[in-house]
Amino acid sequence: MFQAKNTSRREWLENLSIGAGGLGLAMLLQKDNLLAGSAGGISGLHHPAKAKRVVQLFMSGAASQCDTFDYKPKLITEHGKDWDPGEKVELFQSTPGKTMKSPWDWKQYGGCGKWINECVAPLGACVDDIAFVHNMVSKTNVHGPATFMQSTGFVLPGFPSMGAWVSYGLGSETDDLPTFVVLPDPRGFAPNGPKNWGAAFLPAEHQGTMIQPNRESPIEDLFPANQGSLGPEGERRVQSALSEINREHARGREGDSRLAARIRSYELAARMQLSAPEALKWSDEPQHILDLYGIEVPNSSTEGPMNDGEETRHFGRNCLVARRLLERGVRCIQIWSGADNGFPRRNWDSHEDIARDHWPLGMGMARGAAALIQDLKQRGMLEDTLILWTTEFGRMPCSQGSLGRDHNPFVFTNWLAGGGIRGGATYGESDEWSYKPAQPESPTYCYDIHATMLHLLGIDHERLTYRHNGIDRRLTDVHGRVLREII
């Protein structure tokens, strides 16, 4: 069994007599190596790694593959005609409508000649760095379980997120920032909320740290509320009392990692009070970088619940902050596009109107993602940074109503870039409708994507395990094949 090395809680508690805050300051000043191994870490990789960090871009609500990356001429020639895939079709909330082409045109890009939709045109400049996987399949067409599946490898709650597994397996590259950072959509959470980046039964320190760069306080509770000061002596007494309470609470709870994780979070918070403000100060970037990410683009439309200028600013800002965090040693970052399922809609779940919803989201995502790829590449970081683009399932090739598309769990698209990926590649085809895999007997699941990601990080996915309730659990469950065709 492959496990990370952790300092025991008892060792931690024996060193807490000066309080969590005081110990954090002592670490910062003295570098006494008390935290060695506490954030995971391994004694050696299973094989040479091509990547040492990973970014997951998650499109919440189910982005339409046939309006973005999966070009199907038959949808154009058969547009408006009855859709007949030759079998009975049961949809999530509708009956099959007419065959529906994309509202926008397609164009070939790059040396590989990849067809990309106008909706995500900015990514056309990067297709020679990207490998597309068009035969992805989900086990469910319900947002919550499907989001869990792409985030954790399981449709049920209670399992660690992909980022938590990366943190557990590789540990941290920096003492001053979290190992796993999450940048949510500024308007809200995807289905399941923070459970999508939780640690579940892994040591609690491996859960994602949420950062919201758009807020006045991007990291909750990093700095104390402005309610006066206890003074140095009062602060020392409070920390001493907390240490005693912690020691008392820990007695008889050796199997519970939550207190040790909370203590470590206090230690990290003490260091982040110095490191985080600088890391998140994206306004210091030169103007050409701000322009690349679209940080200052104006709104170009006021129709509908979303605006492409606003979406570009939101997603571009998160991508720029991600690059700054990657430079400073953060191991894994998750960036979300698409908020909750309220009204008006602000996610990719375009049941009513693909054109209204996907255009602003697509343009915003594509501008930010392309900027991230290009920026990492010009800094020499793309070669060891893996980028994974994910959505929970796809959308149907037929219309719902006259303008929308229903859920399609039978086929959708992921793409990967950097970190050992063979750019300009396409793996796995969908059928002529973009309805199911062209080869139904060999679809691609999230297990294969996760296995490939771990492989590029130097980890054998079958050997990264954690024993829980008598079972050696892993990110890929009992599945997973490394997609060597795109490496």
Asked if residue 78 has pLDDT above 70, the reply is: yes
Residue 41: pLDDT band (50, 70, 90) is very low
pLDDT the model gives residue 271: 65
Helix (H, G, I), strand (E, B) or coil at 150: helix
Length in residues, the chain: 487
Q: Each residue of 48-65: pLDDT tens digit? A: 999 999 999 999 999 999
Residue 39: pLDDT band (50, 70, 90) is very low
Domains of the chain by residue range? 1-38+232-266, 41-218+280-486
Q: Each residue of 161-220: pLDDT tens digit? A: 999 999 999 998 988 889 999 999 998 999 999 999 999 999 988 999 999 888 777 776
Helix (H, G, I), strand (E, B) or coil at 395: strand
Please give the model's pTM, rounded to 2 decimal places.
0.85
Residue 228: pLDDT band (50, 70, 90) is low
Instruction: Specify the residue for token string 């919803």.
Output: 357
Tell me the C-alpha distance between 101 and 268, whole Å.
Answer: 51
pLDDT the model gives residue 419: 97
Q: Which range among 112-116, 243-247, 472-476 shows the weakest confidence by mean pLDDT?
A: 243-247
* Average pLDDT over the chain, rounded to an integer: 87
Question: What DSSP state is assigned to residue 440?
Answer: T
Four-way CATH pick for 41-218+280-486: 3.40.50.1220, 3.40.720.10, 3.40.190.10, 3.40.50.10210: 3.40.720.10
Residue 7: pLDDT band (50, 70, 90) is very low
Q: Each residue of 388-441: pLDDT tens digit? A: 999 999 999 999 999 999 999 999 999 999 999 999 999 999 999 999 999 999
Are the beta carbons of 266 and 242 closer than 8 angstroms?
no
Residue closest to 476 by CA, chosen among 486, 455, 461: 461
Q: Each residue of 248-277: pLDDT tens digit? A: 777 777 666 666 666 666 666 566 666 677
Nearest-Å Rg of the Cα atoms of the chain is 23
φ and ψ at residue 483, rounded to 5 degrees: -85, 80
Are the beta carbons of 104 and 151 closer than 8 angstroms?
no
Higher pLDDT, 30 or 235: 235
